[in-house]
Every structure is written in C-alpha cells, then in structure tokens.
C-alpha cells in the first residue's frame, strides 16, 4: 500500500480536523529515524478550547495516535508524568517537530 510521507499525512490531518489549531507536533519514531513499516504517527494538537481526548485512527494509510489538548491540560499531564518519572507528554511536545 502506498501512503504519503508522514509529514504530509500529519499536516493534512491537522488541517482537515483542526484548522483552528494553535500548534501541532509530530513525534515518535517517524521523527527520530527509527520508523518501521508498522510505525504510527504520534500527533499532539493544541487548541484554545477543546474536550481533551486521545483518539486512534487511520489517516491516508497511516495509523495515528492523536492527542488533543489545551495549554492547561498539557501542563497538567507534563507535571503528572514527571512525578511518576515517565515524561510522555513532555516528550510528545518537547521533542515533537512543529507541523
């Protein structure tokens, strides 16, 4: 199956679903050069106001883990993750590449 490069797919998903996004980041193996044929796109989207949620979907042939947040929820999860020494949200945003 042919699919677009991860950057194109991630940008098109954010543009289609969240045109009002303040920022969005692509993270994970596709940004570190360690992606395999089964890798997914880890996309975090920052909005001014939203029901915070996580969603799994397929977009343009790519499996996607979508993390939809507001500034306050990103801050909350960074603190929570750091307290348990698993900085998942900090990595998604801090090491993610802006879309």
Share of the chain above pLDDT 70, in %: 99
Q: What's the CA gap between 92 and 75, in Å, rounded? A: 12
Alpha carbon of 60 to those of 16, 63, 75: distances in Å? 12, 9, 31
In 28-83, which ranges are E strands?
Answer: 41-46, 53-59, 62-69
Q: What's the CA gap between 85 and 23, in Å, rounded? A: 26
Q: What is the pLDDT of residues 9-56, one digit of tens each?
A: 999 999 999 999 999 999 999 999 999 999 999 999 999 999 999 999
Q: What's the CA gap between 76 and 89, in Å, rounded? A: 9
Token match 């106001």: residue?
49
């Amino acid at each position: 199956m042919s699919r677009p490069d991860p950057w194109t797919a991630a940008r098109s998903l954010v543009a289609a679903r969240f045109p009002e996004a303040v920022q969005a980041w692509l993270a994970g193996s596709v940004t570190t050069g360690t992606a395999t044929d089964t890798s997914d796109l880890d996309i975090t989207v920052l909005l001014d106001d939203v029901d915070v949620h996580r969603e799994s979907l397929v977009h343009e042939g790519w499996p996607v883990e979508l993390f939809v947040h507001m500034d306050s929820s990103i801050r909350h999860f960074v603190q929570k993750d750091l307290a348990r020494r698993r900085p998942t949200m900090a990595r998604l945003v801090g090491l993610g590449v802006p879309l």
